[in-house]
């Protein structure tokens, strides 16, 4: 009697568990098969590199978002933050040309400026949520509006363009390859590995999970809750600045439409990857797959005439809903329980 119940109970638990963790990978695999069937060029080396490069921006930002969300927060300001950082970077580099010329120094000054802005913006979000005791949703909704309007203001309603000569120096950061992979992909890989290590192997990652699960328990367990939460926003800010550094050379400009809806794509990537929106459980690996899935959908639609490219958002929306529905994990059990 006991043995039969065991054999019937065990596999169902295993199946649910596998589906939860392997789900995003399976989904990506299925998407790739569909892409290949629709157009074999989908799996060409050129397209794969293109796809990975495109994923890098959202992917890098989403790695940061995984920390914020795991610790029970949310950051809606990342898209606007990227735009304003890009804008300020361009302004700073353009004005540095007079003193430092159009060489590497100027580009480095721009990058340094980006990192400082990212750190600062993250710190502001973090301190307002923790010390200011305002809900993260409200704080970042506010800073989202502020950053967005600032970039519009800096660009005077138009577009900020990078000095043509610097663009030539900076261009390789987006367009060049290193050991066969474009540089943005390398940055994505490094950020992912660092993020994975931080989340899964360090005390900091453990603290994020603990705070997201139950802030009181974390507080009573000698965790400096405010500090850890603030740090998650700082990490998010740095991720945004890294993404911006590799994004600016792509177009060499910034405007009020730069980075629009990136925050939602980043959050979507995190959630598709299996991280729990209300905190307490975070998966960097899943987030990376989530970012790849989102980009792949757009890419496939470019390859086929069956569905209009304008329906990209629809397909992404459907994937998000289906992903979360699958992750609920009890959809199989609730049926068998009746």
Partner 1 sequence: MPDGQAISAPILSADGISKSFGSVPVLFSVSMNIRAGEVHALIGENGAGKSTLMKILSGFLQPTSGHIRVDGTTKELPGNGQSEGLGIVLIHQELNLAEQMTVEENVFLGRELLSRGILDRTTMRAMVKGYLNDIGLDISPEDRISDLSIAQKQMVEIVKAMSRNARVLIMDEPTAVLTEAETELFFAQVRRLKARGTAIVFVSHKLAEVSAISDQVTILRDGQWIGTHAAKDVTPDTMAQMMVGRELSDFYPPMNEVDVDADHVLEVRDLVAPGVHNVSFDLRRGEILGFSGLIGAGRTAVFEAICGLTPRAHGLINFDGAPAQFGSVAEARDAGVVYLTKDRKEKGLLLGQKMRPNLSLFALPKFVKGLSVDHRAEDAALTRAIRRFDIRARDPSVKVGDLSGGNQQKLLLAKVMECDPRVLIIDEPTRGIDVGTKQQIYHFIAAIAAEGVSVIVVSSEMPEIIGLCHRVVVMREGEITGVVTGDHINETEIVRYAAGLKRERQQ
List of residues contacting partner 1 (CB under 8 A):
1-3, 5-6, 9-10, 197, 201-203, 206-207, 209-210, 213-214, 216-224, 280-281, 337
Shortest Å distance, C-beta 1 to partner 1 = 6
- Closer to partner 1 by CB, 79 or 279: give it: 279
Shortest Å distance, C-beta 220 to partner 1 = 5
- Closer to partner 1 by CB, 227 or 311: give it: 227
Shortest Å distance, C-beta 6 to partner 1 = 4
Shortest Å distance, C-beta 229 to partner 1 = 15
d(CA 95, CA 174): 22
- Closer to partner 1 by CB, 201 or 328: give it: 201
- Closer to partner 1 by CB, 191 or 246: give it: 191
Question: Quick one: three-class SS letters along the chain?
Answer: CHHHHHHHHHHHHHHHHHHHHHHHHHHHHHHHHHHHHHCHHHHCHHHHHHHHHHHHHHHHHHHHHHHHHHCCCCCCCHHHHHHHHHHHHHHHHHHHHHHHCCCHHHHHHHHHHHHHHHHHHHHHHHHHHHCCCCCHHHHHHHHHHHHHHHHHHHCCCCEEECCHHHHHHHCHHHHCEECCEEHHHHHHHHHHHHHHHHHHHCHHHHHHHHHHHCHHHHHHCCCCHHHHHHHHHHHHHHHHHHHHHHHHHHHCEEECCCCCCHHHHHHHHHHHCCCCCCCCCCCHHHHHHHHHHHHHHHHHHHHCCCCCHHHHHHHHHHHHHHHHHHHCCCHHHHHHHC
Shortest Å distance, C-beta 212 to partner 1 = 10
Cβ pair 186, 59 in contact under 8 A = no
- Closer to partner 1 by CB, 89 or 191: give it: 191
Shortest Å distance, C-beta 217 to partner 1 = 5
Shortest Å distance, C-beta 165 to partner 1 = 42
- Closer to partner 1 by CB, 63 or 210: give it: 210
- Closer to partner 1 by CB, 306 or 337: give it: 337
């Amino acid at each position: 009697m006991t043995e039969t119940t065991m054999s019937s109970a065990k596999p169902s638990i295993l199946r649910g568990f596998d589906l939860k963790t392997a789900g995003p990978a399976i989904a990506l695999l299925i998407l790739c098969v569909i892409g290949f069937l629709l157009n074999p060029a989908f799996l060409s080396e050129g397209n794969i590199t293109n796809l990975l490069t495109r994923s890098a921006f959202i992917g890098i930002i989403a790695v940061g978002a995984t920390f914020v969300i795991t610790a029970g927060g949310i950051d809606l300001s990342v898209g606007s933050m990227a735009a304003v950082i890009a804008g300020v970077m361009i302004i700073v580099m353009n004005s540095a040309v007079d003193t430092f010329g159009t060489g590497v120094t100027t580009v480095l000054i721009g990058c340094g400026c980006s990192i400082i802005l990212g750190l600062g913006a993250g710190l502001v979000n973090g301190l307002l949520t923790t010390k200011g005791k305002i809900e993260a949703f409200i704080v970042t909704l506010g800073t989202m509006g502020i950053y967005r309007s600032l970039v519009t203001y800096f660009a005077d309603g138009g577009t900020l363009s990078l000095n043509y000569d610097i663009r030539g120096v900076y261009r390789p950061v987006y367009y060049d390859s290193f050991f066969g992979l474009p540089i943005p992909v390398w940055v994505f890989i490094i950020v992912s590995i660092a993020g994975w290590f931080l989340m899964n192997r360090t005390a900091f990652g453990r603290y994020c999970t603990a705070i997201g699960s139950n802030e009181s328990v974390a507080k009573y367990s000698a965790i400096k809750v405010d500090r850890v939460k603030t740090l998650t926003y700082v990490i998010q800010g740095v991720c945004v600045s890294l993404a911006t550094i590799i994004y600016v050379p792509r177009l060499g400009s910034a405007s009020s439409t730069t980075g629009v809806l990136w925050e939602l794509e980043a959050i979507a990537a995190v959630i598709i990857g299996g991280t729990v929106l209300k905190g307490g459980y975070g998966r960097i690996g899943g987030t990376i797959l989530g970012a790849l899935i989102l980009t792949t959908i757009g890419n496939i639609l470019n390859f086929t005439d069956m569905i209009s490219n304008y329906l990209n958002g629809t397909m992404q929306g459907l994937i998000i809903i289906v992903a979360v529905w699958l992750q609920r994990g009890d959809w199989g059990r609730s049926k068998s329980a009746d």
